[in-house]
Structure 1
Amino acid sequence: MRIGILTGGGDVPGLNSCIKAVTRRATEQGWEVIGFRRGWAGPLNYNPDDPEGSERHLMRLDNEAVRTIDREGGTILHTTRTDPQWMVEAKLPDFLKGKFKLSDKGTVDTTPHILRVFEHLGIDVMVTIGGDGTLAYAAQLHGEGMKTVSIPKTMDNDVFGTDYCIGFSTAVSRSVEHINALRTSTGSHERIAVVELFGRHSGETALIASYLADVDRAIIAEVPFDVAKLGALLAADRAANPARYAMVVISEGARMEGGERLTYGEADEYGRKRLGGIGHLVGEELTKITGIDTITQSLAYLMRAGPPDALDQMVAKSFGTLAVQEIAAGRSGFMTALRDGNYETVPAALCTEGRKRVDVKAFYDRDAYRPRIAQVTGKPMFLY
């Protein structure tokens, strides 16, 4: 048996732990493990007609190669947001240019090449660790005859079909740590702090971090907000605080009532622009509205920097172990998942069938702009 493995999308703490678990459990089975570098860009850039020159796109994994990797964050395989079914011709490796039909959107689908690479390398099962984009493509490949296994990771915790994704706990822990550290400067200058966190469509990271750090207000991606109302609330929070400061956390994907999500830069080949800037915009508006100076801080990649915490280590290694156990039992086409506190598997395509978002009614006060846990009894550990 030869197992392939890759990590796609944004990096999160815990990826190396998962890679290590897959490699060790597979080695115990007597299987070989081949890692593809840089997500789906690995097989995309591998040329079966030049295997020696293409070796740089692979990483041969064994117990020695993964011995210490779980002590660090990120991914030793590196990662990209490459999606082989929506490639711009100009970004294809030279040996693939001109070999695919252009779609109406000016992109090409390189899936036949990806399947050829797996066949050439003798990959029996492909293990993909990623968010909904990476995993959706893996599910598509399984439908085309390539055996795949999906493992969900995203610090937003927004992959549909699982209650938990690798990276979420550490992202929340990092956020709480930096939010509380920022209280020093905010209080010293008697200002309002606006802290922007990652979260394109789901505000769960901002919600839970705000709940744990006990900030004054929280703005999540799911609920449009009135900045004038927010300013009045924060001014009152500051006045009531003996230390004369207030704090608000905001998801990068949040938007004002009647407004759009803020993006910047040119769109990539998949039509996506970078999100960000809402924190600075809100900070400027709050100063205009309240007359109080603000501190704005985007935590950005600090949320997912460094090694994983104990929970992400546990989930990552358990997901990796579960994946190999199921492969050994002859199964594929599934995604590892945590549901109601239990490890299980679900159909790989389930991640494409919905969107995981904050249950606003159960966990958020849309009038006060604050986390509000309507009922704790019966809820899972992370209040999903």
Structure 2
Amino acid sequence: MKRIGVLTSGGDSPGMNAAIRAVVRKAIFHGLEVYGINYGYAGLIAGDIHKMELGSVGDIIHRGGTMLYTARCEEFKTLEGQQKGIEQLKKFGIEGLVVIGGDGSFQGAKKLTEHGFPTIGVPGTIDNDIPGTDFTIGFDTALNTIIEAIDKIRDTATSHERTYVIEVMGRHAGDLALWAGLADGAETILIPEADYDMDQIVNRLKRGQERGKKHSIIIVAEGVGNGFSFGKEISDATNMETRVTVLGHIQRGGSPTASDRVLASRLGAKAVDLLIDGKAGVTVGIQKNELVYHGIEEVLSQKHEVNLDMYKLSQELSI
């Protein structure tokens, strides 16, 4: 293999740039040429492809987002779109591809592999919802962004003696809500993977109020429901002054943490090693601090599982 490509797809996540940097520099170290593909699969179909040098990825390891940009691409879900993409790869002489993104991006990588084009997936998503890896690129940074926001909100909650409902990202996975809630001592955490009893939540808030507790923090993953609707339910049931904060896309941005920079560097470099070794149709990951890889088909067939022991612990500590 003499020439590889790299793209980022789906939602951006802090650390994607560090992963791109690792792919480019690891490949060049081994004598390969590297081509960057702008705007994910949409850019692949359009032929928005350019050669990358060592200097192309200088001074990006600390930057959030992705220098290769990203976009959704419905056309690539079709056979015709996939064939257009492969034609562009062949046109530029690219023999292998590294795809950095989440499960939707991996679906595209799977299709390319099925068409005989060697592709490696690198998990980049703040939701931490990719099976086969303990952590995904961007999760730690987003988590710390949420924690910092909650810390600041708690100051106001204490000053005004209010209950705050904070909605965080996580449409199908509750990792951000769970980890942030446990780290910040939230009284209640609602995640898509676990049912909740509104009566129990209300009773817990009232017990806290009776013992002199002046404020409460409730973390809601967006996959559970609308934070404003939940806040109104709490206010109506407890008569407590309740405020709602939706953190939104602030969770996606920011300079990646040291943990995400190191993880992205390790995973990006491992993807290049796998291509050189003739592997294809696999995703890289980290489990028990060891780099691993699994078949894309295997990863996509599994369902992400949240750590319910942590969820139980959060309930025990919020009595």
TM-score, structure 2 as length reference = 0.93
Aligned match of 2:37: 36
Distance 2:50 2:210 in 1: 57
Aligned match of 2:165: 194
Aligned match of 1:363: 310
Distance 2:66 2:212 in 1: 42
Match of 1:65 among 56, 78, 86: 56
Match of 1:169 among 140, 163, 181: 140
Is 1:2 the counterpart of 2:6? The answer is no
Kindly report which structure 2 residues correspond to 1:221-236, keeping only aligned pairs within 5 A, or say none: 221-236=192-207
Aligned match of 2:185: 214
- RMSD of equivalent CA atoms: 1.9
Change (3 A) 1:320 1:371: farther
Distance 2:62 2:73 in 1: 27
How far residue 288 of structure 1 moved from its aligned partner, in angstroms, is 1.1
Distance 2:29 2:83 in 1: 32
Aligned match of 1:322: 270
1:65 is paired with a residue of what secondary structure? helix
Change (3 A) 1:354 1:290: same
Aligned match of 2:128: 157
How far residue 371 of structure 1 moved from its aligned partner, in angstroms, is 6.9
Structure 1 residue runs of 5 or longer lacking an equivalent are: 47-56, 88-107, 256-277, 373-384
Per-residue Cα deviation, 1:183-236 (whole angstroms, up to 9, x for no partner): 111112211000111011111111111111111111111123233432332233
Distance 1:72 1:280 in 2: 33
1:20 is paired with a residue of what secondary structure? helix
1:231 is paired with a residue of what secondary structure? helix
Kindly report which structure 2 residues correspond to 1:327-346, keeping only aligned pairs within 5 A, or say none: 327-346=275-294
Contact 2:41–2:76 (8 Å) recurs in 1: no
2:144 is paired with a residue of what secondary structure? helix
Change (3 A) 1:355 1:83: farther
* Aligned amino acid, residue 35 of structure 1: G
Change (3 A) 1:371 1:63: farther
Per-residue Cα deviation, 1:294-335 (whole angstroms, up to 9, x for no partner): 111111222221111011011000001111122222322221
2:304 is paired with a residue of what secondary structure? coil
Per-residue Cα deviation, 1:57-84 (whole angstroms, up to 9, x for no partner): 2343211111101121110011112244
How far residue 357 of structure 1 moved from its aligned partner, in angstroms, is 2.0
Contact 1:136–1:351 (8 Å) recurs in 2: no
Kindly report which structure 2 residues correspond to 1:110-129, keeping only aligned pairs within 5 A, or say none: 110-129=81-100
How many residues in Structure 1 have an aligned counterpart in Structure 2?
316
How far residue 115 of structure 1 moved from its aligned partner, in angstroms, is 1.4
Aligned match of 2:229: 281
* Aligned amino acid, residue 25 of structure 2: R
Change (3 A) 1:314 1:231: same
How far residue 369 of structure 1 moved from its aligned partner, in angstroms, is 7.3
Distance 1:363 1:353 in 2: 25
Is 1:148 the counterpart of 2:119? The answer is yes
Contact 2:77–2:108 (8 Å) recurs in 1: no
Change (3 A) 1:371 1:333: farther
Distance 1:371 1:330 in 2: 49
Distance 1:146 1:371 in 2: 50
Distance 2:119 2:110 in 1: 7
Change (3 A) 1:369 1:312: closer
* Aligned amino acid, residue 132 of structure 2: G
How far residue 39 of structure 1 moved from its aligned partner, in angstroms, is 1.2
**Higher helix residue share:** 2
Change (3 A) 1:295 1:59: farther
Question: Identical aligned pairs, as a percentage?
Answer: 31
